[in-house]
Amino acid sequence: MNKKDIYILGVGNNTGVYIDLVEECGYNPAGLYHYEKGREGELLHNIPILDCHENLFKQNLTGLLFAISVGNNLIRKNLAEKILKCGGEIPTLIHPTAVVSKYAKLGNRVVVHANSVIQAGASIGADTVISSNASVSHNSIIGKACYQAFGSTIGAYVNISDNALIGQGAVIISGKVDFIGENSIIGAGSVVTKSVPKNTIVAGNPARIIKSI
């Protein structure tokens, strides 16, 4: 059976991870698109940069599949909206080593990387990325366009609002944290023991407010 072609937006240090991911999910990475002009023909892991984002979005993308290798939540969400507006499709990608409960709910265009665990009753919003070795405990809700970085843990019954970033190795404690506010950032290695207001950066153990954004 022939693998379906898929194109990856975003050329950077994390792109190789997405190449691995789409291949493991049964797709053929057919080309890359970069935000800069003038890099056409360059190769990354033997996959060519075909064009820039600007030129891509001048085309009718009906029937074409895309993945977005971009960590910034708002940029990733914006790119997804442009792809869909041009008729393209963005499949949900779940690495075969990830464990996703059949009782969990995943929105459109969600990405779940290798060795992550999403437990029963969890809900993941559209355009959210769960990075490798991360876990989402039962009955927690993650909003749209969030990013949960490598090795982080979201405890049970936590409500994470749209566009939040959970840093590497951060732990959000079950039974202590009701919500993480919209656009908030949880610093790497933080241990979060209470709710975090929207538009806020917290860090440390226990996590404390660093600044508002």
Distance from C-alpha of 187 to C-alpha of 165, rounded to nearest angstrom: 8
Spot the catalytic one: 34, 95, 113, 138: 138
Alpha-carbon distance of 48 to 100, in angstroms, equals 32
Report d(CA 203, CA 192) in Å as an integer: 8
Answer yes or no: are the C-beta atoms of 180 and 164 closer than 8 Å: yes
Annotated catalytic residue 53: no
**C-alpha span between 120 and 118 (Å, rounded):** 7
Q: Find all residues with CB under 8 Å of 126, minimum gap 6, and list them.
A: 107, 108, 109, 110, 144, 145
Residue from 55, 67, 63 nearest 31 by CA: 67
Q: What is the DSSP string of 127-195?
A: T-EE-TT-EE-TT-EE-TT-EE-TT-EE-TT-EEPTT-EE-TT-EE-TTT--EE-TT-EEPTT-EE-S-
Active-site positions? 138
